[in-house]
Structure 1
Amino acid sequence: MISTARAPRLTFADRITNRRWHLRPASPLSVEPVRVPMRDGVTLRADVYHPAAEAHGTILIRTPYGPKTQAAVPRQLAAHGYRAVTVYSRGTFGSGGSFDPMRAEAQDGQDVVAWLRLQPWYTGSFATTGASYIGYTQWALLNEPPEDLKAAVIFVGPHDFAGHTWSTGTFRNDLISWSNLIDIQETASMPKLVIDMLSGNPRARRAMKATPVVEGVRKEYPKLPWLVDRVSDGDLASSQWAPMRFKSAIDKVDVPILLISGWQDIFRRQSHLQYQRLRQRGIDVALSIGPWTHLQGAGNAMMHTEMLQWFDTKYGRLDVPARQAAVHLEVTGGGGWRWFGSWPPAPRTLTLHPDASGRLGAEPAVGERTFVYSPDDPTPSVGGNDFMTGGYKRDNRLAARSDVLTFDSEPLTADTEVMGVPVATIDDRTEHADADLFVRISDVAPNGRSTNVTDGYLRLRAATGATTIELDAVAHRFAAGHRIRLIVAGGAFPLYAINPGTGENPMTATVRVANRHTVSLAGTRLDLPVVGAR
């Protein structure tokens, strides 16, 4: 085969990226476009990024996103001595076939590896990397791990799209937001994509607010028939979801894996589960967590520095300093970046109880508080791990709403660090048995500014008593003088679907009713995993 690679060179953009990511000096590279055959006759577009000198190894990236947004990582890998191979998912950016997200990635991944082994430049082993959906393609491959796979770096990557979408009992709307991006990514300009994201995806919002939602999805996204199927089917045991679930991969893989997540990332629960299970199995696993949302993390310099270091030490076997410890994370609230041997550190439990006056204290209280959730004016999601508009946000307006209960501790007399998984027990009874429950912990500064820290969510099919909700894992310092705030509500839109109150699938329901919640304070508490001095 005649090579179509251009002469090796290093562009101005390569030099800027190298400096921005704080990487070691880069070398020239070349790019070769190729086609990769699949077993069903479809061929996929791929780009091979060749280093100028002999390669340290081969790194595979499989993505549904285009080269304009995805070229930086393979170019930097090649500029630092690795041969990077980017393969575009079927039906995207010149690859044959149709894009049916998540369903074909396991089989196609094995076919790509079979093709890799036949190439004259193949180094005899390979590693994988990538973020988000590209992290998912790694887990799909790891479900049957090839013997020549030697290392992986998975940025904010889920192993189970079905669980992410429906595991709370209701629908996470970020699948619609992401599908909006997929629908326009090959035709819209980069400014249009950015404006659409910054404006909160108006077309996606229209679909989410429709009654029923599935018809809104059908109207707004006629070119995405698979989205209607995903929206309509909340049965995690259905055959539709089976090809998208790779939890078993966590129990099969045995290569060094670096997991990179964000405290406000949409997939952070799955990243934490991956770390815990791999660590239990004795796998060489490391975890890095920053204060990022899903979209913020992919471009973070530290993530790419740690990626290259991981490959240099675990795969390329280069003479570079090793990682300082297994876990590297930022303690939010001003606690700074820290290294840990494992995560989470052994905590003690601080239990706080709400009372009728809105205080949060050490002693159990009696009484009850009520609020009404209205689907006509759904409680908004403010910040948190939302795909488009998440992050750390001021949430005072949320706390002040009449459909929200808020409980504040007294000002803390010393810094209090919460590390691990907070657990809320909410004794909630509702007028209609079908209800959602949203729980948040916020940090209230001495000036009254409230900022979200972590959330939990669950759909209740029989809201008739105490319900335990695990919030997302956290490492946060509540500074002396600050207050710990507990927020309880009946929804979080548009992060989650509007609860209909009728027991129907929220995406196909044609009737929605308001629902009164009555919270018994005697059976309600917040358990915080706290480290440090008492």
Structure 2
Amino acid sequence: MTSRTHDALPRQAWTPPSGKPPPSARMMRATWRNLPAKRHEAGWEPGLVVPAADGSPLRTDHYFPRAEGDFPTLVVRSPYGRGVPWSPMYGMLFAEQGFHVVLQSCRGTGGSGGRFDLWRNEADDGRATVAWLRKQSWFNGLLGTVGPSYLGYVQWALALDPPPELKAMVVQVGLHDPYALFHTDGALRLENALAVGVGMTYQHRGIGPFVRATLRLQRRLRAITTAQPLRGAYVSALGGEVPWLDDVMTHPEANDPYWLGASPGEAAERMSVPTGLITGWHDALADQTFEQYDRLRRAGCETALLVGPWTHTSALQQGWPEVFADSLAWLRAHLCADPSGLRPTGVRVHVGGAGEWRDLDDWPPTPAATSWFPAPGGYLTQQAPTDNTPLTSIRYDPADPTPSIGGPLLSRTAGPRDNSILEAREDVLTFTGPPLAEPVDVLGPVFARLSISTDTGYADVFTRLCDVDAQGRSINVCDGLAQLRTVEEAPSTVTVPMSSTAHRFAAGHRIRWQISGGAHPRYARNPGTGESSVDATDFTPVRITLHADAELMLPGSTQAAQPFEGEQPDA
């Protein structure tokens, strides 16, 4: 780090401007409940210009506590604009709690100069912003960062070469790996790609244009996602071509040179900056959060993890009181030497099905797992199979793709949903355990090991854990997808990560394992030919055969089931 630190610069008295936060921020602020009491009135200094690394003007708003004294600074860099909801959530609220907040539009967005180029400028522009901060008389040399989604990405980018002033980070439902946002094992996460395209293109232009573009995408979603070919079909919804979106959709392999340098996640492997992580069980970026937590722990970095019953968006809506309070406590502890608000343990998770929060020393809490196996007749048992004969099969037709319901998405359709209608389809397999005599808690990463053969050699396999209640409703808990490249008719074994969960299967409920050939439009449909899903114009149905040597691995669960005694799994 060659730049001089703030301590090397003379400090001058600073007279706070008289401006108040914009009316839209004050109006939204008035709607929130159950937030910590404010400590100060907030002030606002809009329209500052910070030079980017290439000299482009970065439009920046400065929020501050209207009080005398030294206060630490938070940098919040966003490609989504500086208005609602960012101005009240990050500018106004944190200023009321005793922080200077620098809310800045990323290069090429929200009035900032230059060209927005997904992920490529954030490290340099973050360092340029810190260099500007050092020249501000109100900057006391204590710096933190906070923010969700892409606002988390810019934090990891800065952490690649952390400035000495950086003392704390809070990454909320955050991104560090763009490839994993857009692809899973080579399969395009189509619905997420379209949602990101709308957000990056319109959200920084204001609420009106963003809402209209979102509604337009919803109306045209089916036509876009079933287009042949898929390439370029989004143009009607986004109002034109988006070069970076074309690029991310057409580079499905993680080792493609296109993705070189895209992920700053390696910063966590050598981190010493205390970092708080927040996600939800149905957050589209939850797996990235768990990966970063593991990296930080292995690096010996002070870290904390909060996982709520949230999706990517609901964490900042229904979950905002918990998210804000947890973020504030972490920043106060490491920037203001006030640890009074910290949780008693480093990890707090919400246990689905039980409706309770649980404090843990670490995540995952235990490496132990219980195995469940599919059996003829749609049963799920804990008795391992004795052979690997074909068990059952389904026909996946990309012309009528198996639909997606709920799960970890960026859209409003994310989260737990009743899967009963989905599971009635002929292209969906279900294996269901008996009613549980006692509650079963599953805490940690879930995996499926599948033995599959196909008649074309090309297929996807989507696998999901569900909780079936006494009324027969089948609610998704967690899931995963993998692509198959098989020798025709010969079984191939694949292990599918199904994300992580903290979930209680109540007494009387049943554990269900759901298996299908896809989940559309969450994932682009596999054409069954080996051709790219973006460019395919020909589609071939595929017969997917599940062999008996398959296994569902549930962490932390224990045997607590009554014998079948002739009960049918769908009863």
1:71 maps to a residue whose letter is S
Q: Is 1:164–2:181 an aligned residue pair?
A: yes
- CA–CA separation in structure 2 for the residues paired with 1:323 and 1:254: 20
2:200 maps to a residue whose letter is I
Q: Is 1:22–2:23 an aligned residue pair?
A: no
- CA–CA separation in structure 2 for the residues paired with 1:348 and 1:236: 30
- CA–CA separation in structure 2 for the residues paired with 1:199 and 1:405: 34
Instruction: Please report how far the alpha carbon of residue 13 of structure 1 lies from its aligned counterpart in structure 2 after TM superposition.
Output: 3.4
Instruction: Please report how far the alpha carbon of residue 253 of structure 1 lies from its aligned counterpart in structure 2 after TM superposition.
Output: 2.0
Does the residue aligned with 2:85 lie in a helix, a strand or coil? helix
1:468 equivalent among 495, 504, 507: 495
Instruction: Please report how far the alpha carbon of residue 21 of structure 1 lies from its aligned counterpart in structure 2 after TM superposition.
Output: 4.4
Does the residue aligned with 1:410 lie in a helix, a strand or coil? coil
Tell me the residue number matched to 1:115: 132
Change (3 A) 1:106 1:21: farther
- CA–CA separation in structure 1 for the residues paired with 2:167 and 2:493: 47
- CA–CA separation in structure 1 for the residues paired with 2:124 and 2:22: 35
Query: Contact 1:424–1:524 (CA<8 Å) still a contact in 2?
Result: yes
Instruction: Please report how far the alpha carbon of residue 202 of structure 1 lies from its aligned counterpart in structure 2 after TM superposition.
Output: 3.0
1:530 equivalent among 556, 559, 571: 556
- CA–CA separation in structure 2 for the residues paired with 1:39 and 1:345: 43
1:437 equivalent among 461, 470, 489: 461
- CA–CA separation in structure 2 for the residues paired with 1:199 and 1:303: 31
Cα RMSD after superposing both structures: 2.3
Instruction: Please report how far the alpha carbon of residue 3 of structure 1 lies from its aligned counterpart in structure 2 after TM superposition.
Output: 8.0
Query: Contact 1:45–1:93 (CA<8 Å) still a contact in 2?
Result: yes
Change (3 A) 1:394 1:167: closer
Does the residue aligned with 2:45 lie in a helix, a strand or coil? strand
Equivalent residues in 2 for 1:137-152, closer than 5 Å: 137-152=154-169
Tell me the residue number matched to 2:281: 263
Q: Summarize deviations over 1:507-534 as a string: whole Å, max 9, x none.
A: 122222111101112x112111125787
Tell me the residue number matched to 1:351: 371
Query: Contact 1:9–1:28 (CA<8 Å) still a contact in 2?
Result: no
1:6 maps to a residue whose letter is S
Q: Mean alpha-carbon deviation: is it higher for 246-255 or for 481-490? A: 246-255
2:274 maps to a residue whose letter is P
Q: Is 1:61–2:76 an aligned residue pair?
A: yes
Q: Is 1:379–2:402 an aligned residue pair?
A: yes
Instruction: Please report how far the alpha carbon of residue 9 of structure 1 lies from its aligned counterpart in structure 2 after TM superposition.
Output: 7.2
Q: Mean alpha-carbon deviation: is it higher for 224-233 or for 3-12? A: 3-12
Q: Mean alpha-carbon deviation: is it higher for 262-271 or for 48-57? A: 48-57
Change (3 A) 1:208 1:106: farther
Tell me the residue number matched to 1:447: 471
1:231 maps to a residue whose letter is M
Query: Contact 1:443–1:450 (CA<8 Å) still a contact in 2?
Result: yes
Query: Contact 1:347–1:419 (CA<8 Å) still a contact in 2?
Result: no
- CA–CA separation in structure 2 for the residues paired with 1:208 and 1:322: 45
Tell me the residue number matched to 2:515: 488
Query: Contact 1:15–1:26 (CA<8 Å) still a contact in 2?
Result: no
Q: Is 1:283–2:297 an aligned residue pair?
A: no
Tell me the residue number matched to 1:183: 201
Q: Mean alpha-carbon deviation: is it higher for 163-172 or for 105-114? A: 163-172
Does the residue aligned with 2:371 lie in a helix, a strand or coil? strand
Q: Summarize deviations over 1:293-349 as a string: whole Å, max 9, x none.
A: 101112321000111111111211136343221001100012411111111112532
Q: Is 1:50–2:73 an aligned residue pair?
A: no
Instruction: Please report how far the alpha carbon of residue 231 of structure 1 lies from its aligned counterpart in structure 2 after TM superposition.
Output: 1.2
Q: How many residues align?
A: 531
Q: Mean alpha-carbon deviation: is it higher for 200-209 or for 509-518? A: 200-209
Superposition TM-score, scaled by structure 2 size: 0.88
Tell me the residue number matched to 2:121: 104
- CA–CA separation in structure 2 for the residues paired with 1:503 and 1:223: 26
- CA–CA separation in structure 1 for the residues paired with 2:181 and 2:530: 21
Change (3 A) 1:127 1:63: same
Does the residue aligned with 1:214 lie in a helix, a strand or coil? coil
Query: Contact 1:217–1:228 (CA<8 Å) still a contact in 2?
Result: no
Tell me the residue number matched to 2:439: 415
Query: Contact 1:436–1:457 (CA<8 Å) still a contact in 2?
Result: yes
Q: Mean alpha-carbon deviation: is it higher for 199-208 or for 466-475? A: 199-208
Change (3 A) 1:91 1:487: same
Does the residue aligned with 1:182 lie in a helix, a strand or coil? helix
Instruction: Please report how far the alpha carbon of residue 195 of structure 1 lies from its aligned counterpart in structure 2 after TM superposition.
Output: 7.0
Q: Summarize deviations over 1:125-156 as a string: whole Å, max 9, x none.
A: 20000000101111111111112100000001
Q: Summarize deviations over 1:17-43 as a string: whole Å, max 9, x none.
A: 6x5242133311211120011232211
Equivalent residues in 2 for 1:509-520, closer than 5 Å: 509-520=536-547
- CA–CA separation in structure 2 for the residues paired with 1:398 and 1:318: 50
Instruction: Please report how far the alpha carbon of residue 212 of structure 1 lies from its aligned counterpart in structure 2 after TM superposition.
Output: 1.2
Tell me the residue number matched to 1:326: 346
Superposition TM-score, scaled by structure 1 size: 0.94
Change (3 A) 1:503 1:217: same
Change (3 A) 1:437 1:215: same
Query: Contact 1:102–1:243 (CA<8 Å) still a contact in 2?
Result: no
- CA–CA separation in structure 2 for the residues paired with 1:441 and 1:287: 23
Equivalent residues in 2 for 1:223-302, closer than 5 Å: 223-299=241-317, 300-302=320-322
Q: Mean alpha-carbon deviation: is it higher for 4-13 or for 431-440? A: 4-13
- CA–CA separation in structure 2 for the residues paired with 1:336 and 1:194: 34
- CA–CA separation in structure 2 for the residues paired with 1:169 and 1:128: 32
1:70 equivalent among 86, 101, 117: 86
- CA–CA separation in structure 2 for the residues paired with 1:412 and 1:276: 32
Identity %: 35
Q: Is 1:303–2:326 an aligned residue pair?
A: no
- CA–CA separation in structure 2 for the residues paired with 1:530 and 1:506: 37
Equivalent residues in 2 for 1:74-93, closer than 5 Å: 74-93=91-110
Tell me the residue number matched to 2:569: none
Change (3 A) 1:532 1:467: closer
Q: Mean alpha-carbon deviation: is it higher for 435-444 or for 385-394? A: 385-394
Q: Summarize deviations over 1:74-123 as a string: whole Å, max 9, x none.
A: 21110111000011011111111122222211211111111111212111
Q: Mean alpha-carbon deviation: is it higher for 416-425 or for 23-32? A: 23-32
Instruction: Please report how far the alpha carbon of residue 181 of structure 1 lies from its aligned counterpart in structure 2 after TM superposition.
Output: 2.6
Q: Summarize deviations over 1:137-178 as a string: whole Å, max 9, x none.
A: 111111111121000000011211013322422111102222
Instruction: Please report how far the alpha carbon of residue 220 of structure 1 lies from its aligned counterpart in structure 2 after TM superposition.
Output: 4.5
Does the residue aligned with 1:426 lie in a helix, a strand or coil? strand
Structure 1: unaligned runs, 5 residues or longer: none
Structure 2: unaligned runs, 5 residues or longer: 1-11, 561-571
Does the residue aligned with 1:96 lie in a helix, a strand or coil? coil
1:59 maps to a residue whose letter is L
Query: Contact 1:60–1:127 (CA<8 Å) still a contact in 2?
Result: yes
2:369 maps to a residue whose letter is T
Query: Contact 2:80–2:199 (CA<8 Å) still a contact in 1?
Result: no
- CA–CA separation in structure 2 for the residues paired with 1:178 and 1:89: 16
2:56 maps to a residue whose letter is V
2:133 maps to a residue whose letter is L
- CA–CA separation in structure 1 for the residues paired with 2:368 and 2:204: 51
